[in-house]
Chains A and B, each alone.
Chain A
């Protein structure tokens, strides 16, 4: 702002000087060069002005919170120091505490299993459905719209519905099992099943996203390629493995990456269905972070922030892998 003001006030003075000099023979190139410099400067200011909203936005809503979350995880916050300030800097003590916690191992393992299993099934089922819908048939649009329902429902609604369905005593799933003579399963209350239950619910919720993105990816594959492959004698599965899948690779990669980031931080479904229990058997890093920071009468902000940062690092690592693969593909 200050710079622009100077610039504006200087302009008339210099132009007056130019007029005066105009009487004397002055090389014209000098003035032109000046004008060019002036133009370049004003261009740069304009560029910055255009950039400013984005930069301010990024700083305020991304850099600052991230920095502060990091700061939160590096200090020993008690309730008192959280309110009154002056929490001592403790380096990586919170991280040490988190790593040494008996919950850490299981939570990490559950996060990996939950994410991997969810991604595999969401992607496979999503792709299968997308392929199915590329064959145009009557009511296909209606059917496709119906498949989007899980995506449109608020998470609290779908998770609550799942927890009713899976209720040990009055749930529909166990009633069905009983109708077929099978023993009831304690879906949400058995340590052997709770993680599977939340994973199944998450897969159901994630399928529409995969379906939509992969479907549009399939639409982008030119029909001629498929026709050519057919003429060359590629039949059925061959065409899928050798033509469709390779051409779908960029779309698949971004679908999987986005799915990964979403799934890593899934919290609502697990919290509503099992609260991470019974006794941590469905606790992931995301629910653990919440429990530490907000799920107890006495919040542990430092360790909670530390777990949150671990999640960010994990997502970032996979993001970098994605960028690396994309670059390699571009150069290849």
Chain B
């Protein structure tokens, strides 16, 4: 047993070396916390002691509502909570390394598409093992954390994409936002906006998972399936974006836009539309112009299924199974109705349960659009794709970039992407 631990630690060192060789700045930022949390994680049984929680919300410090909630849940369960916030892209690797070294946190809050990866690695316990109640969560949100008939966590909140619009720009161009029902009417609206001397739409098509996330509402809205990227529906979705760029309805910078830089473009007040997420609501209030929100339209009308964002609360596997009882109490506390409301308001998320969603809409009617968007949304790893999803997503964002930058036609780009995805997932 001891030997295996040593072996694992070495692999950690090796990974650090790979990082060093590739000059990755990202990973040099944080010292390994594993050494300090090790004894705690394997140590004393339930009843007192310290429980570690990792979350992807580094923006919250100890004075925030979120950390106060964690502390109070710990007090309720009779333990001290030690919380660390990581950058969300960093957290997956941190969690994998910690699991390898046998000192996972007691509670891990992680982005939903990562759940299936961690579950595949045997890092997470199932909700059946730890007796977590998932019955309140909406099935379409819970699906992202399910593989086969097993569930690996409880959603803590959801976000998704919709179209923000600038009321002033639309009024100037003579466009009624309610007239945008499908792709044709949206493109027509963009044409009018451009004719009025303003900019059409901004989104994020960057070469990372973020780009796929933003593309999916259009891809699914065309009726395409992730299992066949180069279907006529898939080509139609890429062509829609490519034509917008060609005609100048969308700026060329979308190819390199993250959702944050895309939002900054919209915040200049020059753009009519922006595809962005629930989490921008607070910024939208600060933008200084009147805005509205409509769902992303499907090709032939109706609301396109957008991908679900948001995190799951999970309980990683521990050597000392006695710890699960307290961890279960912590998770139950975090996902209880009252606390969900506080958390999701703090995070600017939509709650994962119908009960809390109703409460959110009652408090803030503007959230209604988002609640219906979340109800129509779909997990990226759903449809039993699980760990196949990342292998499809990468060729897909590359194809979108190739088409938008003019390197390949939409058809050629997607054909290449499909063969890459097929060979990666076989």
Using a CB–CB distance below 8 Å, which chain A residues touch chain B? Answer: 64-69, 71-72, 78-80, 82-85, 102, 155-156, 163, 167-170, 186, 188-191, 265-268, 274-281, 286-287, 289-290, 293-299, 301, 304-305, 308, 311-312
Q: Does B15 contact A (CB under 8 A)?
A: yes
Q: Is the CB of A68 within 8 A of B389?
A: no
A85-B4, A297-B390 known; A265 vs B406 contact (CB < 8 Å): no
A169→B16 contact, CB < 8 A: no
Chain B residues closer than 8 Å to A80, beta-carbon distance: 120-122
Q: Can you list, as one digit per residue, whether each of B362-397 has a CB less than 8 Å from chain A (1) or not (0)?
A: 000000000000000000000000010111011000
State the CA gap A311–B120 with chains docked (Å).
30
Shortest C-beta distance, B270 to chain A (Å), equals: 10
Which chain A residue lies CB-closest to B419?
Answer: A102
Tell yes or no: B355 within 8 A of A by CB. no
Q: Are A295 and B208 neighbours in the complex by a CB distance under 8 Å?
A: yes
With most chain A CB atoms within 10 A of its CB, the pick from B23, B27, B252 is B23
**Is B282's CB within 8 Å of the partner chain A?**
no
Q: Are B8 and A66 in contact (CB under 8 A)?
A: no
- Contacts A69-B18, A267-B24 given; does A275 touch B206 at CB 8 Å: yes
If A82-B96, A169-B252, A304-B18 are given as contacts, then 13 extra A-B residue pairs at C-beta distance below 8 Å, sorted by A number, are A78-B121, A170-B265, A186-B252, A276-B207, A278-B256, A278-B404, A279-B398, A281-B407, A287-B22, A289-B22, A297-B113, A305-B18, A308-B22
Contacting pair B21 A265 (CB below 8 A): yes
Q: Give the CA-CA distance A290 to B24 in the complex, in Å.
A: 7
Q: Is B11 in contact with A275, judged by CB distance below 8 angstroms?
A: no
Nearest 7 pairs of A and B residues by beta carbon:
A68-B14, A65-B17, A277-B207, A298-B390, A189-B255, A79-B121, A267-B23
B255 & A277 in contact (Cβ 8 Å cutoff): yes
Assess the B253–A170 pair: CB atoms within 8 A: yes
**From B93, B255, B404, B406, residue with most partner A Cβ within 10 Å:** B255
Q: With A79-B96, A155-B25, A268-B23 as given contacts, are A278 and B405 in contact (CB-CB < 8 Å)?
A: yes
B357 within 8 A of A: no
Which chain A residues lie closer than 8 Å to B401 at the CB level?
277-279
Whether a CB of chain A sits under 8 angstroms from the CB of B314 is no
Complex: A52 Cα to B20 Cα, angstroms: 25
**Given A82-B121, A83-B121, is A286 in contact with B22 using a C-beta cutoff of 8 Å?**
yes
> Known contacts A69-B21, A267-B22, A297-B393; is A191 also within 8 Å of B252 by CB?
no
Interface check B171, CB cutoff 8 A: no
Within 8 Å by CB of A279, from B13, B208, B402, lies B402
Which residues on A sit within 8 Å (CB–CB) of B8?
Answer: 85
Inter-chain CA distance A299–B265, complex, in Å, is 32
**Residue on A nearest B101 in the bound complex, by CB:** A83
How far in angstroms is the closest Cβ of chain A from B85? 19
CA distance A66 to B13 in the complex (A): 9
Contact B14–A72 (Cβ < 8 Å): yes
Which of chain B's residues have a CB closer than 8 A to the CB of A69? 14, 17-18, 21
Smallest Cβ-Cβ distance to B387: which chain A residue: A298
Residues of chain B within 8 A of A286, CB atoms compared:
21-23
Most buried by A among B19, B399, B404, B413: B19
Q: Which of B4, B120, B252 contacts A79 (CB 8 A)?
A: B120
Chain A residues with CB below 8 A from B209, complex form? 296-297
Contacts known (A79-B121, A267-B23, A295-B208); A278 close to B92, Cβ less than 8 A: no
Do A278 and B402 touch (CB < 8 A)? yes
Scan residues 201-220 of chain B and give those whose CB is less than 8 A from a CB of chain A. Answer: 206-209
Docked-complex contact B256 and A298, CB < 8 angstroms: no
What is the bound-complex CA distance between A301 and B12, given in angstroms? Answer: 12
Least CB distance from B93 to A in Å reads: 6
Let me know if A68 and B251 touch, CB within 8 A. Answer: no
- Find out whether the CB atom of A191 lies under 8 angstroms from the CB atom of B407: yes
- Complex contacts, B407 vs chain A, CB 8 Å: 191, 278-279, 281
Nearest Cβ distance between residue A197 and chain B, in whole angstroms?
11
Measured CA separation A268–B18 after assembly (Å): 14
| Cα separation A311 to B24 with both chains bound (whole Å) | 14
Q: Which residue of B lies closest to A295 (CB)?
A: B208
Judging by beta carbons under 8 Å apart, are A279 and B18 in contact? no
- The residue in A168, A189, A267, A298 that gathers the most chain B C-beta atoms within 10 A of its C-beta is A298
Closest approach, in angstroms, between the C-beta of A81 and any C-beta of chain B? 9
Q: Are A188 and B256 in contact (CB under 8 A)?
A: yes
Which residues of B are found within 8 Å of A167, using beta-carbon distances?
253, 256
Contact A68 B398 (CB under 8 A): no
Chain A: minimal CB distance from B338 (Å): 32
Q: In the bound complex, how far is the Cα of B14 from the Cα of A65, in angstroms?
A: 4
Complex Cα distance, B387 from A156, in Å, reads 32
Asked if B298 is an interface residue, CB under 8 A from chain A, the answer is: no
Asked whether, in the complex, the Cβ of B398 is within 8 Å of the Cβ of A83, the reply is no
Q: Is the CB of B23 within 8 A of A266?
A: yes
Asked if residues B17 and A191 are in contact (CB atoms below 8 Å), the reply is no
What CA separation (Å) do A121 and B411 show in the bound complex?
40
Q: Distance in Å from the Cβ of A118 to the closest Cβ of chain B? A: 14
Sampled A-B contacts (9; CB under 8 Å): A68-B17, A72-B14, A168-B251, A265-B21, A277-B206, A277-B398, A296-B390, A297-B114, A298-B390
B267 to chain A, nearest CB (A): 12
CB distance from A34 to the nearest CB of B (A): 43
Structural contact, A169 and B253, CB atoms closer than 8 A: yes
* Bound CA span A286–B24, Å: 9
For A290, give the chain B residue with the smallest CB separation: B22
Shortest A92–chain B CB gap in Å is: 17
Q: How far is the CB of A65 from chain B (nearest CB, A)?
A: 3
Question: A213 to B406, alpha carbons, bound, how many Å?
Answer: 43
Instruction: Give the distance to chain B from A85, nearest Cβ to Cβ, in Å.
Output: 6
Closest to A297 in B: B390
Residue of A nearest to B268 (CB): A170
Interface: B196 (CB within 8 A): no
Tell me the minimal C-beta distance from A178 to chain B in angstroms.
Answer: 14
Q: Chain B residues with Cβ under 8 A from A298's Cβ?
A: 117, 387, 390-391
B184 at the interface (CB under 8 A from A): no
Does B322 make an interface contact (CB < 8 A)?
no
**Is B100's CB within 8 Å of the partner chain A?**
yes
Closest B residue to A291 by CB, please name it.
B394
Residues of B within 8 A of A71 (CB): 14
Complex Cα gap A79–B95 (Å)? 11
The interface residues of chain B lying within 8 Å CB-to-CB of A169 are 251-253, 265
Which residue of A has the minimal Cβ distance to B27? A294
* Cα-based distance from A311 to B19 in the complex (angstroms): 12
B232 within 8 A of partner (CB):
no
Smallest CB gap from B209: residue in A: A297
Pair B405/A190 contact, Cβ less than 8 Å: yes
Q: Residue-by-residue, is B1-45 near A (CB-CB < 8 Å gives 1, otherwise 0)?
A: 000100110110111111111111111000000000000000000
Q: Closest residue of chain B to A62, judged by CB?
A: B17
B410 vs chain A, min Cβ distance (A): 13
Given contacts A83-B123, A286-B23, A290-B24, contact A275 B208 (CB under 8 A): yes
| A186 / chain B contacts, CB cutoff of 8 Å | 252, 255, 405
